[in-house]
A and B are shown apart, each in its own frame.
Chain A
């Protein structure tokens, strides 16, 4: 939770925190509906801040048109930058806390890693929120950033998984089904079929 301290900006920014509730991913799917609504009532841009997605958690890709990964120095050595996951979906990367040692090296490792991959590498920028360094450059980069369509298949994969998970979690008979699973009177496949069948009712 953050509060907008700047009185001049207050009227232009609406902040809303969202509990993850039953969702297992970093971004509850209700955010997709909320985003549509906010855009429909006239907000220009919706920024979704996740709890921190880690390396493999890429559920935010199901909702966002652009993905900005915010890193910091001392987040692991160069090998970490080679691991597959969120970084592949990033449309831009910001290494914040560049006032601390290791930030430039980390940015360099990320750039190097992107050079090895296919396609146009995303921009990697350095900022320091503490000192305000690089914030204006980062803001103009973000405002001009196109939805890259990077890893379109991966995005649809996340959408599909998220959609499926939501169907299961929102099934009215979920508690009964979980009891039947615990009691051994239904199998996992039975449960999936049962939830799927309800769709056609």
Chain B
């Protein structure tokens, strides 16, 4: 693998289920990356503060509560407000197919549902890191296509 990347894995909102977030954190860790897990029930501001202070390249948001449509865009907006435009954001959890395009429109670059092989998440990490415009405040409309 290449250089170790710093990844914040976060649980926004009032959602107490973090098995999936821990699986992702473990897979990234085992691949040599440096993972900072926020713990449960964080506000958007707390998550963005952590991303800034930890100098993270990636932010993974996990939600199983159904509040992703409210919380994920809010985090993205705050990241841009704070000037953290080059941070690459991805999401996971229980995110219905119909809700995904709206999240991609907020520059969330991938949504990983249950059953995603962790190798695919690692591939996404490498691919998007190699791009220079996949950040949450950057130009491209690209997002990871799960069918590929």
Instruction: Tell me the A residues contacting B by CB distance below 8 Å.
Output: 1-3, 5, 10, 14-17, 19, 21
User: Which B residues between 31 and 45 are near A, CB-CB below 8 angstroms?
Assistant: 34, 36-39, 42
Subset of 13 A-B contacts with CB under 8 Å: A1-B36, A1-B37, A1-B38, A1-B39, A1-B50, A3-B38, A3-B42, A5-B46, A10-B49, A16-B53, A16-B54, A19-B4, A21-B4
- Asked whether, in the complex, the Cβ of B39 is within 8 Å of the Cβ of A3, the reply is yes
CA distance A5 to B46 in the complex (A): 8
- In the complex, the chain A residue whose C-beta lies closest to that of B38 is A3
CA distance A131 to B3 in the complex (A): 43
Most A CB atoms within 10 A — which of B4, B42, B46? B46
- Per DSSP, chain B at the interface is mixed
Q: Given A3-B50, A10-B49, decide whether A17 and B36 contact each other with a Cβ distance below 8 A.
A: yes
- For B42, list chain A residues within 8 Å (CB): 3
- For B36, list chain A residues within 8 Å (CB): 1, 17
- Asked whether, in the complex, the Cβ of A17 is within 8 Å of the Cβ of B54, the reply is yes
- For B34, list chain A residues within 8 Å (CB): 17, 19
Q: Given A1-B39, A3-B38, decide whether A15 and B4 contact each other with a Cβ distance below 8 A.
A: no
Instruction: Tell me the B residues contacting A by CB distance below 8 Å.
Output: 4, 34, 36-39, 42, 46, 49-50, 53-55
CA distance A15 to B50 in the complex (A): 8
- For A16, list chain B residues within 8 Å (CB): 53-55
CA distance A16 to B36 in the complex (A): 9
CA distance A3 to B10 in the complex (A): 11
4 tightest A-B CB contacts, nearest first? A19-B34, A1-B36, A3-B46, A17-B36
Q: Whole-angstrom distance from the CB of A66 to the nearest CB of chain B? A: 24
Other A-B pairs, 12, CB within 8 Å; known A3-B42, A19-B34: A1-B39, A1-B50, A3-B38, A3-B39, A3-B49, A3-B50, A14-B53, A15-B53, A15-B54, A16-B55, A17-B36, A19-B4
- For B49, list chain A residues within 8 Å (CB): 3, 10
- For B55, list chain A residues within 8 Å (CB): 16
CA distance A163 to B61 in the complex (A): 39
Q: Whole-angstrom distance from the CB of B34 to the nearest CB of chain A? A: 4
CA distance A164 to B37 in the complex (A): 32
- In the complex, the chain A residue whose C-beta lies closest to that of B42 is A3
CA distance A10 to B50 in the complex (A): 11
CA distance A19 to B31 in the complex (A): 14
Q: Whole-angstrom distance from the CB of B38 to the nearest CB of chain A? A: 6
CA distance A17 to B33 in the complex (A): 13
CA distance A10 to B53 in the complex (A): 11
Q: Whole-angstrom distance from the CB of B29 to the nearest CB of chain A? A: 9
CA distance A17 to B39 in the complex (A): 14
- In the complex, the chain A residue whose C-beta lies closest to that of B9 is A1
CA distance A10 to B46 in the complex (A): 10
- In the complex, the chain A residue whose C-beta lies closest to that of B37 is A1
CA distance A39 to B42 in the complex (A): 29
CA distance A153 to B50 in the complex (A): 38
